C-alpha cells in the first residue's frame, strides 16, 4: 500500500523550519553569551594572539552584523554597513552583554515577521553580499561560530576553561 | 486577487533544501581542505596553543565524525563511536587530504539516498546524541567551523595567513 503521507515530488522537502533555524541561532548566541560572561574582564578588550583582534572586536562584529541585518532579512531594508554604523563602542563587558540581550530580543521580534518564502529569495545584503536569505543567515551563524572558536583559543591560552561547545542554552 | 502561489498554512515553509544543505557543508569542507593544504607540514601534527590538540587531531575528529555518520544519517545504521573506530592514523598531510577527498565523495554518494522526511526524524546518533537529523548535521558542520576557527589562530601565531573565511570552493 502506498504511503500517501510521503512528500510528493512537487512539495520540496523540509530540512528545518524557520522556527528551528531561529532556535538554532539563539542557542549558539546563548553559548557565545556564556563565553563573554566568563571571559576575564582585564583581557576582553586587549588580549590578542597572532596579531588578531581582541575578543571584544570579534564579538562587536558578530553583534553588529546580527543587529543591522534584521530589517534587511525581513524585508530588504539594508543600512549601509560602515564603521560608522556601529554607533558607540562598548567599553565594559556589562555594556556588551546588555547589547547582546537587546539583539536577542530584536531577532525574536523580527523573526516571525519574515515571510516564509523570504528564506529562498535572493537579495544583496548591505548592498554587498548577494545570495538567498537562508545563505546569508547561515553566514551570520557560521561567522559567530568561527570567531567564538578563536576566542576559545584565547581563553585556553589565558588558562580559562571555555564553556562546553555542545551545551547550548535556549533563548 | 489572492496569490495562490503562496504556501498554505498546512505546507511548512522551506528554509533550505537538502541539496542546499549539502552544498553548504561541502563549501565549508572545501574551505577546511584549503586550510589543511596551506598548513605548514612541520607543524600540522605537533603545534598547539593553550594545551589544546594539534591541528591534525582537530581535523581527524571532524573527518571521523563525517565519515562514520553517513550510514546513520541516511538510515539509522550507527557504528559505535570509539577511539578504535578511527582506524589507522594518518601521519602525513597527504594521507589526511586523500581521506578528506574520500569523505567528500562519500557524503555526495549518501546524500541523495537520505529520505526527505529523514531530516526531521529524531534519532540517537552513535547511540549517544539524541535529536532530529537536521540538528545532528548542523552539529557536524558547526563543529568543523569551530575547530577550523581555532586552527586559524594556530596559523596566525605561526605567521601564516589563513584562507578567506567567506571564500568557499564548491564540491
In a domain, A96, yes or no: yes
In a domain, B145, yes or no: yes
pLDDT for A89 equals 86
Contact between chains at A149 and B154 (C-beta distance less than 8 A): no
In a domain, A5, yes or no: no
Q: How far is B63 from chain A (nearest CA, A)?
A: 18
Chain A residues touching residue B120 (CB < 8 angstroms): 14, 16
Closest chain A residue by Cα to residue B54: A153
Cell 603545534 belongs to which residue?
Answer: B47
This prediction has a pTM of 0.91
pLDDT for A96 equals 98
> E strand or H helix at B42, and its extent?
helix B41-44
CA-to-CA distance for A131 and A144, rounded, in angstroms? Answer: 19
Do B75 and B111 touch, CB atoms closer than 8 A? no
Is the pLDDT score of B42 beyond 60?
A: yes
Cell numbers found for residue B69: 555518520
Chain B residues touching residue A138 (CB < 8 angstroms): 16, 24
Is the pLDDT score of B6 beyond 90?
A: no
- For CA atoms B112, B113, B119, B125, the dihedral sign is negative
Number of compact structural domains in chain B = 1
Is the pLDDT score of B83 beyond 60?
A: no
CA-to-CA distance for A65 and A92, rounded, in angstroms? Answer: 20
Residues of B with CB under 8 A from a CB of A: 6-7, 11-18, 20-21, 24, 28, 49-52, 116-117, 119-120, 132, 134-135, 138-139, 142-143, 145-150, 152-159, 165-166
Contact between chains at A15 and B13 (C-beta distance less than 8 A): no
Q: Is A83 exposed, middle or buried (0-12, 13-18, 19+ CB in 10 A)?
A: exposed
Question: Around Cβ A161, how many Cβ atoms within 10 Å?
Answer: 9
Instruction: Flag whether A147 is marked binding.
Output: yes
Instruction: Please state, rounded to an integer, the average pLDDT across all residues of chain B.
Output: 90
In a domain, A3, yes or no: no
Q: Which of A61, A63, A42, A64 has the alpha carbon at shortest distance from A53?
A: A61
CATH number at residue B65: 1.20.120.450
Contact between chains at A14 and B16 (C-beta distance less than 8 A): no
Q: Which of B28, B16, B15, B167 has the alpha carbon at shortest distance from B107?
A: B28
In a domain, B168, yes or no: no
pLDDT for A83 equals 54
- Count chain A–chain B contacts defined by CB atoms under 8 A: 134
In a domain, B163, yes or no: no
Cell numbers found for residue A119: 528564506
In a domain, B165, yes or no: no
Band (B4; pLDDT cuts 50, 70, 90): very low
CA–CA distances in Å: residue A110 to residues A107, A115, B12? 5, 10, 19
DSSP H helical segments within chain A, as ranges? 18-38, 41-44, 55-75, 93-110, 133-157
pLDDT for A87 equals 61
CA-to-CA distance for B22 and A43, rounded, in angstroms? Answer: 39
Domain of residue B46: give its range. 20-81+90-157
Q: How far apart are the first and last CA of chain A?
A: 43
Question: Around Cβ A22, how many Cβ atoms within 10 Å?
Answer: 20
pLDDT for B7 equals 46
pLDDT for B116 equals 92
In a domain, A45, yes or no: yes
pLDDT for B93 equals 98
3-state SS, B73-133, equals: HHHCCCCCCCHHHHCCCCCCHHHHHHHHHHHHHHHHHHHHHCCHHHHHCEEEECCCEEEEH
CA B56 to chain centre: 15
pLDDT for A80 equals 77
Q: Please list, in sequence order, all residues whose beta carbon lies within 8 angstroms of the beta carbon of residue B100, skipping any fewer than 6 positions away.
A: B29, B32, B33, B36, B63
> Per-residue pLDDT for chain A (171 aa), expressed as one digit of tens each?
344 445 444 456 679 999 999 999 999 999 999 999 999 999 999 999 999 999 999 999 999 999 999 999 999 999 876 655 556 789 999 999 999 999 999 999 999 999 999 999 999 999 999 999 999 999 999 999 999 999 999 999 999 999 999 988 876
Amino acid at each position: 500500500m502506498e504511503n500517501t503521507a510521503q512528500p510528493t515530488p512537487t512539495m520540496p522537502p523540509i530540512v528545518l523550519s524557520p522556527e528551528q533555524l531561529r532556535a538554532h541561532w539563539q542557542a549558539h548566541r546563548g553559548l557565545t553569551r556564556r563565553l563573554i560572561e566568563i571571559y576575564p574582564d582585564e583581557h576582553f578588550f586587549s588580549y590578542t594572539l597572532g596579531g588578531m583582534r581582541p575578543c571584544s572586536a570579534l564579538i562587536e562584529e558578530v553583534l553588529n552584523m546580527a543587529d543591522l541585518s534584521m530589517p534587511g532579512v525581513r524585508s530588504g531594508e539594508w543600512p549601509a554597513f560602515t564603521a560608522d554604523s556601529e554607533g558607540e563602542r562598548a567599553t565594559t563587558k556589562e555594556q556588551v552583554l546588555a547589547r547582546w540581550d537587546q539583539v536577542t530580543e530584536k531577532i525574536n521580534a523580527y523573526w516571525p515577521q519574515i515571510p516564509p518564502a523570504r528564506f529562498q529569495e535572493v537579495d544583496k545584503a548591505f548592498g554587498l553580499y548577494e545570495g538567498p536569505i537562508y545563505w546569508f543567515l547561515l553566514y551570520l551563524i557560521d561567522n559567530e561560530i568561527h570567531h567564538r572558536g578563536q576566542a576559545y583559543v584565547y581563553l585556553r591560552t589565558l588558562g580559562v576553561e571555555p564553556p562546553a561547545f555542545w551545551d547550548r542554552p535556549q533563548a
